[in-house]
Amino acid sequence: MGVPDPVANNGLSSGSGNVVVANNTIQGNLAGAGDGGGIALVGVNGTEAGNNINNWFRVDIVNNVIVNNGAGVAGGGISLLDSSNVFIVNNTVSLNDSYATAARAFQNGDPTQAQNATTPLAKIASSSLQGGAGIAAYGHSSAFRAALGNGGPAAHRFFSNPTILDSVVLGNRRFQWRVNYNVAQDQAACAYDASTGVNPCFGLGHIDVTDTLVAGAAAQDAAGNDIAVLGGPNNARLSPSYSVFTATNVGDGTSGSNNRAGTQSDFASAYANGQNGALKQLVFAVEQSIVKGAPVLEVQEPTVATTAAAFDEGGNFIDLRFGPLTRGTCNSALTFTSPECSQTWADFGTYQPTLLATAGNFAGGQTIAPTGNANQYSLFVRTLVQNDRNGVARGANWVRGALQQ
């Protein structure tokens, strides 16, 4: 939201206006060529931003379940650029992925150039591990930074710096993509290696300390995994409070301020992209669209997203594929189209906290009184947040995240 107008405003956005995003489930989306798989805020603030931040346009993101989304660069859950007056309150931003497969994630923007290199090392091209798989906040564009100058609050002059409160931002994952032109790029050499879990020619994983592509996501307890500032000043970090992360680290601002660590088991029902019948659904889709007898290079049960690359296209040529392709399934042998299916339907992930989590890791958020915080939240937002995503009253415990129980 918010559209830059480089002609009329010297590259500045005219702003988004004041927006409230509340009580949604945002799940299973992909921003394959950029940032913000669930929500991408671009240019919320622009020409209206002066010395008094209370006069800036504002976005409130309240009571949303933002899960199982992916981004080709960063911010699988939420990304922000030139969007500083943003409040992220009582949201569940979990199990989102940043894949680093879009052109911007590679140093020269086009990894296929490595095939023309003359040394073995140079024939390997890898994307950079991106920070903020849950929430990624970018440094201001040059136009917005110049417009602000020394005006406005110091904490908002250099990068999008949202208020993150009472939110659960855990279990998000970061990946890298690599192509190795030292290996013959043919069907025989590029067969999936079940022993390593990666394709020796190209594929998704993470680069370990020995500079080897290995299967799976990068360490989720590392600083910058769940939230990060990208392209901002050195050592810039966000300042969340009363929130839950995969781990708490000084380096990304998640330590202190009544934040704590949680685990995926704090959810009664949750899943990571690539699980829960993803292969079954993928095979069904292939059967409907591929000519009978056509060769299939690789089929394996994906535990993460898989990729397909069109190397002769350049740019954003890496296609991401993940499942499940539906929100849930019938709890029986019925097909999705059977009338009886609705009677036995079960979501793959509801993201309700367990009873242990409501009394433990998710407990004790910062209460927002319906009649208080008048200078910080509108009456509309204060009223909204008294109940959770499903309309359950939060009460005295004030459980963190979008769901009370």
Tokens of 80: 């922000």
292 has pLDDT over 50: no
Of 21-30, 278-287, 320-329, the range with the lowest mean pLDDT is 278-287
85 has pLDDT over 60: yes
Q: Which residues pair with 81 in a beta bridge?
A: 42
In a domain, 274, yes or no: yes
What whole-number distance in Å separates Cα of residue 358 and Cα of residue 404? 7
Give the pLDDT score at 275.
Answer: 52
HEC secondary structure over 164-197: EECCEECCCEECEEEEECCCCCCCCCCCCECCCC
In a domain, 14, yes or no: no
Closest CA to 45 of 78, 86, 74: 86
In a domain, 128, yes or no: yes
In a domain, 5, yes or no: no
In a domain, 270, yes or no: yes
Confidence of residue 352 (pLDDT cuts 50, 70, 90): very high
Tokens of 95: 């199990």
pTM of the model: 0.90
Confidence of residue 288 (pLDDT cuts 50, 70, 90): very low
Q: What is the mean pLDDT of the chain?
A: 86
Confidence of residue 236 (pLDDT cuts 50, 70, 90): very high
254 has pLDDT over 70: yes
- CA-based Rg of the chain, rounded to a whole angstrom? 22
In a domain, 11, yes or no: no
C-beta neighbour count of 277 within 10 angstroms: 17
Share of the chain above pLDDT 70, in %: 85
- DSSP for 301-334? --SS-EEEE-TTT-SS-EEEE-S-SSSEEESSS-
In a domain, 13, yes or no: no
Alpha helical stretches, state H, 256-296: 278-289
In a domain, 396, yes or no: no
Residue 182 structural domain: 19-384
Please, is 150 exposed, middle or buried when counting C-beta atoms within 10 Å of its C-beta (0-12, 13-18, 19+)? exposed
Confidence of residue 295 (pLDDT cuts 50, 70, 90): very low
347 has pLDDT over 50: yes
2 has pLDDT over 60: no
Closest CA to 128 of 100, 148, 88: 100
The total domain count for the chain is 1
Per-residue pLDDT, averaged over 149-175, amounts to 95
pLDDT digits (tens, 9 = 90+) for 217-226: 999 999 999 9
